[in-house]
Structure 1
Amino acid sequence: MNHRTATAILSAVIAAAALTACGSDTATDKPSAKTPPATAPSTPAAPVATSSSSSAAETPKGKEIPPKPDAATQAKYIAALTAIDPDIVNTKPDKAVDRGRNQCETIANFPKDEQKQVDLTNQRFTSPNHPDGFGPAKAAKIRDAVHTHLCPTY
């Protein structure tokens, strides 16, 4: 057998194998002796939680991340943060609002744990000049501004 014939036969075998593997119709396929039939699990599988569903599941009912504030509320919130330290907003008011709205979820999840709220505020509110946060004293003030302006009912 010459090289061309061997190559042609090998190509045909590979193509046939690929078509057999990819071109099956699951309605008419029968398990082969080599492949054991699929068995159903004895208990139903739990659904996989996504990041959005897991955060909603952890938040008490009705205490989800609040909607974006109206312009007047946002202006008061940004002014309160700027009064604490202008670097908190750092020319990015939308980012400060998003961080505050996320902080509302922390306030809802840990309503009686002020230390945890302050710790998470300090982790969440950072800037280039304060990459590790603004410290516990300012974090407590930031948390209070968030609570007052973005989620007063939490």
Structure 2
Amino acid sequence: MKRTATAAVLLAALATLTACSSDSDDSTDAAPAKTSQAPEVSEADKAKIRENLGYPPEPDAATAAAFVKALNAVDSDIVHGKDEKALSRGADTCRAIKDYPERAKQVDVTNKRWSSPTHPEGHGLATAEKILDTTHKHLCPDF
């Protein structure tokens, strides 16, 4: 789990690198506001960072939609209307597949990771297996 948390922090840092920020000066001085921009990170660099962290490539729109649709077919409470969150959890689940070769551990980690407001402790092991299989099929079939 520590490795996954570290990877999540690095992905958040990657997202920050691609965002712009500005600092404005609220004083009444005539000096223009200072603006700073984070360096741009190319899509190729982002893909390489994801790969180095052990995550699958970012899914295209069709793959992402198919993944969300498949999860909703298992139980609509899995995604509960938060598609981006589901994609992030899917990436984490792919990491679990890489990190834990034992199926039982993968299912356990998946159950803990995929909670919802109505299932704060996870959806149970049977549903976790379906989530794991769906994630593996759609987001990281090569893992």
CA distance in 2, matches of 1:62, 1:108: 12
- Counterpart for residue 122 of structure 1: 111
Gaps of 5+ in 2: 11-50
Deviation at 1:66, TM superposition (A): 1.4
Q: In the alignment, is residue 132 of structure 1 matched against residue 118 of structure 2?
A: no
CA distance in 2, matches of 1:64, 1:107: 10
Q: Which runs of 4+ in 1 moved over 4 A?
A: none
Q: 1:93 aligns with which of 83, 91, 95?
A: 83
Instruction: Name the structure 1 match of 2:56.
Output: 66
Q: Across the two proteins, how many residue pairs are aligned to each other?
A: 98
Residue deviations 1:72-114 (CA, integer Å, cap 9, x gap): 0001100110011001111100000000001101101112x00
Amino acid across the alignment from 1:121:
T
CA distance in 2, matches of 1:91, 1:79: 11
- Please report the TM-score for the alignment, with normalisation by the length of structure 1: 0.59
**In the alignment, residue 72 of structure 1 is paired with which amino acid?**
A
Structure 2 residue 65 is the aligned partner of structure 1 residue 110: no
Q: 2:28: which partner in 1?
A: none
Cα drift, residue 62 of structure 1: 6.5
Aligned equivalents of 2:54 and 2:116: distance in 1?
26
Asked if residue 51 in structure 1 is aligned to residue 51 in structure 2, the reply is no
Question: 1:51 Cα deviation (Å)?
Answer: 2.5
Structure 1 51/63 Cα, relative in aligned 2: closer, same or farther at 3 Å? closer
1:79 aligns with 2:69: yes
Quick check: which one's strand share is greater? 2
Question: What percent of counterpart residues are identical?
Answer: 47
Query: For structure 1, which runs of at least 5 residues remain unmatched after alignment?
Result: 1-49, 56-60
Q: What RMSD, in angstroms, separates the aligned Cα atoms of the two structures?
A: 2.2
The answer on whether the counterparts of 1:68 and 1:97 sit within 8 Å (CA) in structure 2 is no
| 2:114 maps to amino acid | F
The TM-score, its normalising length taken from structure 2, stands at 0.64
Q: Distance in 2 between the 1:70 and 1:87 partners?
A: 23
**Partner amino acid for 2:130?**
K
